[in-house]
């Protein structure tokens, strides 16, 4: 991806298409979470579309047996690509922000994994890509047992989508304004 240690975020309305391929239809659950994101993150507008061509974020809900083929065909567009993880998100970005995201969420390996993947992969598709073991109260830590959109994660996303934080900014550029951005994000989440 473009400049990996610079801010990545969506700068246009986030239009999500849900493609449920799983035997169990999880479409309503994904839609409910997307509406929650829209309510809880200032500076980001999300909507749902039934038209994949109109979406800039595709969510595939699959059973485990479908995971590798869907990732290879629909995400990597390479039938020989190695497929990591238990679920994943791919983000395509440039200097003006995230252009497209696509997440693959496994539905048939229990409610915990489904909910964890739903929250983590969709939120990471909005910009905060890296996991960190120090984030004990976050889904952005693969060792944590969180499977919901925590207050801590809401603060992170509200900081990212604060208008003072722009795509392409470096750590050095964000550092002087982060205390104000963090303060305002905490107020928003309360």
Q: 149-181, pLDDT tens digit by residue?
A: 788 889 989 999 999 999 989 889 999 999 999
* Six token digits for residue 5: 């240690």
Flag whether the pTM goes above 0.85: yes
As a whole number, mean pLDDT of residues 181-187 equals 94
Per-residue confidence (pLDDT) for residue 95, from 0 to 100: 81
Per-residue confidence (pLDDT) for residue 151, from 0 to 100: 83
Q: Which DSSP helix (H) or strand (E) runs through 123? A: helix 111-124
Among the ranges given (47-51, 100-104, 137-141, 149-153), the one the predictor scored with the smallest mean pLDDT: 137-141
Q: How far is CA 24 from CA 61, 62, 81, 189, in A?
A: 9, 9, 27, 33
């Amino acid at each position: 991806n473009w400049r990996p240690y610079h801010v990545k975020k969506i700068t246009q309305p986030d239009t999500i298409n849900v493609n449920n391929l799983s035997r169990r239809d999880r479409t309503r659950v994904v839609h409910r979470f997307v509406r929650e994101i829209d309510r809880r993150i200032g500076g980001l507008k999300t909507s749902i579309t039934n038209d994949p061509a109109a979406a800039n974020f595709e969510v595939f809900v699959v059973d485990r047996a479908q995971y590798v083929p869907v990732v290879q065909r629909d995400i990597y567009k390479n039938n020989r690509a190695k497929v990591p993880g238990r679920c994943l998100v791919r983000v395509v970005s440039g200097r003006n922000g995230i252009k497209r995201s696509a997440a693959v969420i496994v539905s048939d390996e229990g409610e915990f994994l489904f909910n964890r993947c739903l929250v983590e992969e969709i939120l990471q598709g909005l910009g905060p890509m890296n996991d960190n073991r120090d984030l004990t109260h976050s889904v952005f830590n693969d060792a944590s047992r969180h499977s919901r959109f925590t207050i801590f994660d809401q603060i992170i996303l509200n900081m990212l989508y604060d208008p003072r934080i722009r795509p392409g900014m470096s750590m050095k550029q964000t550092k002087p304004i982060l205390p104000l951005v963090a303060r305002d994000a905490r107020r928003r989440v309360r």
